[in-house]
Amino acid sequence: MAKIEEAPVAPAMVAKDLTLADLRSALAAGWQDFRAYPLYGLFFASIYVVAGLFLYFALFTRGEIGWLVPAAAGFPIVAPFIAVGLYEVSRRREAGLPMSWRTILGSLRGRGDDQIISMGVIVFVAFAFWLMIAHGIFAIFLSTSGSGSESLEFLQTQSGIMMLIVGTIVGALLAIAFYAITVISLPVLVDRDVDFITAIILSLAVVRSNTLVMLAWAAIIAVTLFIAMIPAFLGLLIVSPVLAHGTWHLFRRSVSNAPQ
C-alpha cells in the first residue's frame, strides 16, 4: 500500500514516496488505456500531427524553417491541455463508466465552471510567451552572425549553434516551470470540483514532494515527444496518448481520493 501523507497546501492527500517504478507502472497502465480505446487517443493525437505538419509546411513555404525548432520545442507546453480528453477516457475506464464522443469532448469544457478553460488560456499564453522569447533569442544571434539567413544553414554556423544552446537552456527552464503547474493540475480539474488555483498548488506540491521522480517523468515526456516528432510527427499518434493516459495514472498514484 502506497504511503500517503497530507499536503498542507491543498484539500487533498499527496504521496511523498513516488519511485521510478511508479513511472513504469504509469506507462504500462497508459498503454493499456490506449489499447482499450485507441480511437480517442488517435483523435487527440492527430491534433498534434496536423498542427506539426501545418507548421512545417507553412514555415518551409515562407523560408523560415528555422522557426520549426522553437515551435516543436513548445509542443510539450501545450500537450497537457490537449490531453484533457484522454484524462477523461482514463477516468471513465477506471470507474467503469460508458464512453461516448459527447462525454469525452464535453470534458474539455470542464465541470461547467470554466476552470479547465482558464488553465487552457494559461497554457496557450505560456506557448505564446515562449515563442516571443525564442524570437528574441533568434533575432539576437541572427544579427550577430551578419548572415541575414533564416534557413537551416544558419543553425550550422557558430552563431546558430550558440543560439540553439541558449534557446535550449531558456526553453528547458520555462518548460519545467509550466510542467510543474500543469502536470497534476489538469487531471485534478478533470477528477475534482476545485478551482484552477487550488489545482496548480496541488500540482506544485506533488512536484516539490517528489522532485527527482517528477523531473524524470518530465524527461520521459520531453525525450519521447521529441523522438516521436522525427518521422513526420507520426510517432505522436502513439506516444502522446500513452503519455497522457500515463499521466492520469501517475496523478492517481500521487493524489489520494480524499473527500472533496
Question: Of 26, 18, 16, nearest to 220 (Cα)?
Answer: 26
Q: Among all chains, which residue has been given the C-alpha cell 482514463?
A: 90
Tell me if residue 255 falls in helix, strand or coil. Answer: strand
Percent of the chain with pLDDT over 90: 34
Tell me if residue 109 falls in helix, strand or coil. Answer: helix
Domain span at residue 196?
Answer: 4-95+106-254
> Would you place residue 8 in the very low, low, confident or very high pLDDT band (cuts 50, 70, 90)?
very low
* Dist CA 134 CA 172 (whole Å): 12
Q: What is the pTM of this model?
A: 0.79
Residues 6 or more apart whose CB falls under 8 angstroms from that of 173 comprise none
Instruction: Calculate mean pLDDT across residues 147-164.
Output: 65
**How confident is the model at residue 69, as a pLDDT?**
62
More confident residue, 147 or 157: 157
Residue-wise pLDDT tens digits, 128-145: 787 788 778 777 776 665
Number of independent structural domains in the chain: 1
**How confident is the model at residue 37, as a pLDDT?**
96
**Residue 260: inside a domain, yes or no?**
no
**Residue 23: inside a domain, yes or no?**
yes
DSSP classification of residue 210: T
* Dist CA 137 CA 154 (whole Å): 14
> Would you place residue 100 in the very low, low, confident or very high pLDDT band (cuts 50, 70, 90)?
very high
- Cell triple for residue 34? 490506449
**Residue 259: inside a domain, yes or no?**
no
**Residue 218: inside a domain, yes or no?**
yes
**Residue 224: inside a domain, yes or no?**
yes
Residue-wise pLDDT tens digits, 213-237: 999 999 998 889 888 888 777 888 9
Tell me if residue 65 falls in helix, strand or coil. Answer: helix
**Residue 187: inside a domain, yes or no?**
yes
Instruction: Calculate mean pLDDT across residues 154-168.
Output: 73
Question: Of 106, 87, 95, 77, nearest to 189 (Cα)?
Answer: 87
Question: Of 75, 1, 14, nearest to 235 (Cα)?
Answer: 75
**Residue 172: inside a domain, yes or no?**
yes
More confident residue, 143 or 123: 123
**Residue 101: inside a domain, yes or no?**
no
Residue-wise pLDDT tens digits, 22-80: 999 999 999 999 999 999 999 999 987 887 787 777 666 766 655 666 666 666 666 67
Q: Which amino acid is at 42?
A: L
Helices (H), the chain: 20-36, 38-61, 68-73, 75-82, 84-95, 101-106, 115-145, 158-182, 185-191, 196-209, 211-229, 236-254
More confident residue, 92 or 80: 92
**How confident is the model at residue 162, as a pLDDT?**
79
**How confident is the model at residue 146, as a pLDDT?**
52
* Dist CA 219 CA 75 (whole Å): 14
Residues 6 or more apart whose CB falls under 8 angstroms from that of 98 comprise 92
